[in-house]
């Protein structure tokens, strides 16, 4: 089984470096254009299923992919971005101004990484149980979710790195263990 994780296309808040979390922000023009390039890349392979976070930016990315690969989108709330609590919609400068340099150590209602990992692992376990070996599945989600999950699945190979918009990350289930074969790839944007 191969899962191809896609981070959604860019949004205006990405460009403004605002924490998005579970805020339902749409793709911007560049995000839609990049999602089209990504869809053209994915169109050349055979896919068995397409899952997406229900948040608008992921849904719009999945819609573009769906049209190219010919699959119906299955939405799963476990794929939504980590909740940002009070920091959603703010920039780093605004957070420091409001809560100080150590804002990350404060209880501001942000979803804990352990919670994100737990729900995304639940999604992965369900996929493994419900699908036959050898299937190829596209999963459109968010940078935080993908990063936390990959570091849990393949800690020897995955380090902390910013997930690029429309990046392709592939994990393969081999002998009961998920292994990352491709990480944070955006070759489709270089054309």
Is 41 labeled as ligand-binding? no
Query: How high is the pLDDT of residue 98?
Result: 95
What's CA 48's distance to the chain center, in Å?
19
Which band of pLDDT confidence, cut at 50, 70 and 90, is reported for residue 154?
Answer: confident
DSSP state of 80: S
Q: Does the annotation place 13 within a ligand binding site? A: yes
pLDDT at 191 over 80: no
- pLDDT value of position 32: 98
* Catalytic residue set: 8, 81
Per residue in 130-153, pLDDT tens? 987 889 999 999 999 999 999 898
8: annotated binding-site residue?
yes
Q: pLDDT tens, 54-111?
A: 999 999 999 999 999 999 999 999 999 999 999 999 999 999 999 999 999 999 999 9
Decide yes or no: CATH 3.40.50.1240 for domain 2-189. Answer: yes
pLDDT at 173: 86
- The reported pLDDT for the residue numbered 156 is 80
CB-count burial class (<10 Å; 0-12, 13-18, 19+) for 78: middle
Asked if residue 178 belongs to a known ligand binding site, the reply is: no
**DSSP secondary structure, 15-60, as one string:** HTT---TT--PPP-HHHHHHHHHHHHHHTTS--SEEEE-SSHHHHH
- Looking at residue 176, what is its pLDDT? 81
What are 38-58's pLDDT values in tens digits?
A: 999 999 999 999 999 999 999
Tell me if 72 is assigned to a ligand binding site.
no
What pLDDT is attached to residue 24? 95
In the predicted structure, residue 162 carries a pLDDT above the cut 90: no
CB 65 within 8 A of CB 35: yes
């Amino acid at each position: 089984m191969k899962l191809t994780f896609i981070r959604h296309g860019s949004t205006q808040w990405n460009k403004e470096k605002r924490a998005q979390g579970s805020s339902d922000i749409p793709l911007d023009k560049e995000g839609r254009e990049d999602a089209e390039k990504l869809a053209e890349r994915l169109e050349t392979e055979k896919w068995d299923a397409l899952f997406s976070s229900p948040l608008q930016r992921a849904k719009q990315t999945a819609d573009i992919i769906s049209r190219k690969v010919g699959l119906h989108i299955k939405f799963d709330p476990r794929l939504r971005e980590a909740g940002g609590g009070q920091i959603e919609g703010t920039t780093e400068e605004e957070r420091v101004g409001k809560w100080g340099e150590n804002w990350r150590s404060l209880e501001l209602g942000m979803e804990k990484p352990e919670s994100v990992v737990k729900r995304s692992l639940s999604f992965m376990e369900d996929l493994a149980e419900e699908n036959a070996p050898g299937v190829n599945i596209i999963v459109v989600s968010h940078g935080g979710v993908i990063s936390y999950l990959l570091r849990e699945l393949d800690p020897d190979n995955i380090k902390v790195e910013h997930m690029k918009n429309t990046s392709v990350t592939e994990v393969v289930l081999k002998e009961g263990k998920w292994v990352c074969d491709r990480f944070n790839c955006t070759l489709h944007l270089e054309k």
